[in-house]
């Protein structure tokens, strides 16, 4: 248990350190802008490039794993969307953001550091695949739903093209696509470039987690939203259980890949839920509350998952 706590506490410790600083330090929110830019455009892309580029190309084309994890995420999105429609009386934009809270794991800020720390280098490929295809799903479905609802004031074709452009130009995805190309051609950057990439990627996790804590602190939930608990239950409990079940039904996956998928699915809601809410000016308070409550509750649930994974307690079959 001490090993599990030693792995989990640094992650959550940095988040809550950022939360404390955000609550007590009187620094304008605009002070986060350059740090957020550094994380998204400078630090995290080298991390994803390195994860993918150092992986044998044949391991990057595991279609059954991609299908299983993406369908599981999409299923949780659909369930959360239905819940949001019911509780928000058919309001599609609000239900869309609610669905993001209930299904979009924090795969960018928390995912790589946690999975690689718990499972080693063998987790790099499934981590990268889940990140890429979950991002493709959300960056496509959210703009399309907003466009169909009339909240995104563009014609459907323009909305679809805008979604495609966001997917293709997102720095995380660009870095991953370059990593795939590097893996295919077995390209290795010069040593000086390689060292700079290592230097940048090592800064990604602490900066991202600290920023996450500050961002949540600056957006407190002023009024409790009753749909937040069921959305968090879908995200933290149903999502990892569903991913595990689907992977077991398909069968044939390396245990490290299964454990990686379960850990990634069990992460708290991504800060992108709040960012999307602000972008479309809808469901902002509930999205902020969902990220805050999900992050706090995940201290217990993610630590439990880490304990299960590190002690090889995940079943190797659904029906022994």
The tens digit of pLDDT for each residue in 235-276 reads 999 999 999 999 999 988 999 999 999 999 999 998 788 778
Domain presence at residue 64: yes
Question: What single-letter DSSP state applies at residue 90?
Answer: T
Task: Sort residue 114 into left (φ over 0), alpha (ψ -120 to 50) or beta.
Answer: alpha
Strand partners, 105: 269
Domain presence at residue 6: yes
The alpha carbon of residue 67 and the mean position of all alpha carbons in its chain are separated, in whole angstroms, by: 17
Give the confidence band of 38 by pLDDT, cuts at 50, 70, 90.
confident
pLDDT at 167 over 60: yes
Task: Name the most confidently modeled range: 41-45, 65-69, 307-311.
Answer: 65-69
The number of distinct structural domains making up the chain is 1
pLDDT at residue number 267: 95
Find tokens 């995805």 and name the residue.
Answer: 173
**Cα angle at 135 between 166 and 287, to 5 degrees?**
95
Q: Distance from first CA to last CA of the chain, Å, rounded?
A: 27
Mean pLDDT within 75-99? 93
Q: Which residue has the higher pLDDT, 223 or 214?
A: 214
- Cα separation, 288 vs 269, in Å, equals 10
And the tokens for 234? 């879908």
Mean pLDDT within 217-223? 68
Domain presence at residue 315: no
pLDDT at residue number 250: 93
Domain presence at residue 316: no
The per-residue pLDDT of the chain, averaged, comes to 85
Domain presence at residue 320: no
- Cα separation, 84 vs 96, in Å, equals 7
pLDDT at residue number 94: 92
pLDDT tens-place string over residues 176-207: 789 889 988 989 899 999 999 989 988 877 88
Task: Return the biggest CA–CA distance within the chain.
Answer: 57
CATH number for the domain harbouring residue 258? 1.20.1530.20
* C-alpha dist (Å) from residue 101 to 44, 151, 276, 284, 292: 22, 19, 10, 11, 11
pLDDT at 152 over 60: no
What domain range is 288 assigned to? 2-24+32-310
Domain presence at residue 317: no
Helix axes 63-87, 255-265, angle to 10 degrees: 20
Domain presence at residue 296: yes
**Residue 103, SS3?**
coil
CA dihedral 268, 274, 279, 283 (to 10 degrees): 110
Domain presence at residue 138: yes
pLDDT at residue number 163: 67
């Amino acid at each position: 248990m001490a090993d599990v706590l030693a792995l989990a506490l640094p992650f959550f410790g940095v988040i809550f350190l950022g939360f404390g600083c955000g609550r007590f330090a009187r620094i304008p929110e605009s002070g986060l802008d350059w740090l957020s830019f550094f994380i998204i455009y400078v630090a995290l892309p080298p991390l994803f490039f390195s994860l993918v580029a150092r992986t044998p190309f044949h391991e990057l084309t595991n279609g059954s794993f991609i299908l299983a994890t993406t369908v599981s995420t999409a299923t949780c999105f659909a369930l959360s969307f239905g819940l949001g429609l019911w509780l928000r009386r058919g309001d599609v934009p609000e239900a869309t953001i609610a669905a993001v809270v209930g299904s979009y794991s924090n795969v960018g800020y928390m995912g790589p550091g946690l999975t690689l720390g718990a499972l080693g280098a063998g987790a790099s490929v499934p981590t990268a695949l889940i990140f890429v295809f979950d991002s493709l799903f959300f960056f496509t479905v959210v703009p399309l739903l907003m466009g169909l609802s009339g909240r995104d004031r563009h014609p459907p074709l323009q909305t679809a093209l805008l979604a495609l452009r966001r997917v293709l130009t997102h720095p995380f995805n660009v870095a991953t696509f370059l990593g795939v190309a590097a893996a295919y051609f077995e390209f290795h950057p010069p040593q000086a470039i390689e060292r700079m990439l290592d230097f940048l990627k090592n800064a990604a996790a602490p900066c991202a987690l600290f920023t996450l804590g500050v961002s949540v602190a600056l957006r407190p939930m002023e009024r409790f939203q009753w749909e937040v608990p069921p959305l968090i239950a879908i995200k933290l409990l149903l999502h990892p259980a569903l991913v595990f079940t689907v992977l077991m039904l398909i069968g044939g996956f390396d245990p490290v890949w299964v454990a990686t998928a379960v850990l990634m699915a069990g992460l708290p809601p991504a800060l992108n839920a709040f960012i999307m809410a602000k972008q479309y000016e809808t469901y902002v308070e509930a999205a902020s509350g969902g990220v805050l409550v999900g992050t706090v509750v995940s201290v217990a649930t993610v630590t439990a998952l880490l304990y299960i994974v590190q002690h090889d307690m995940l079943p190797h079959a659904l029906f022994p």
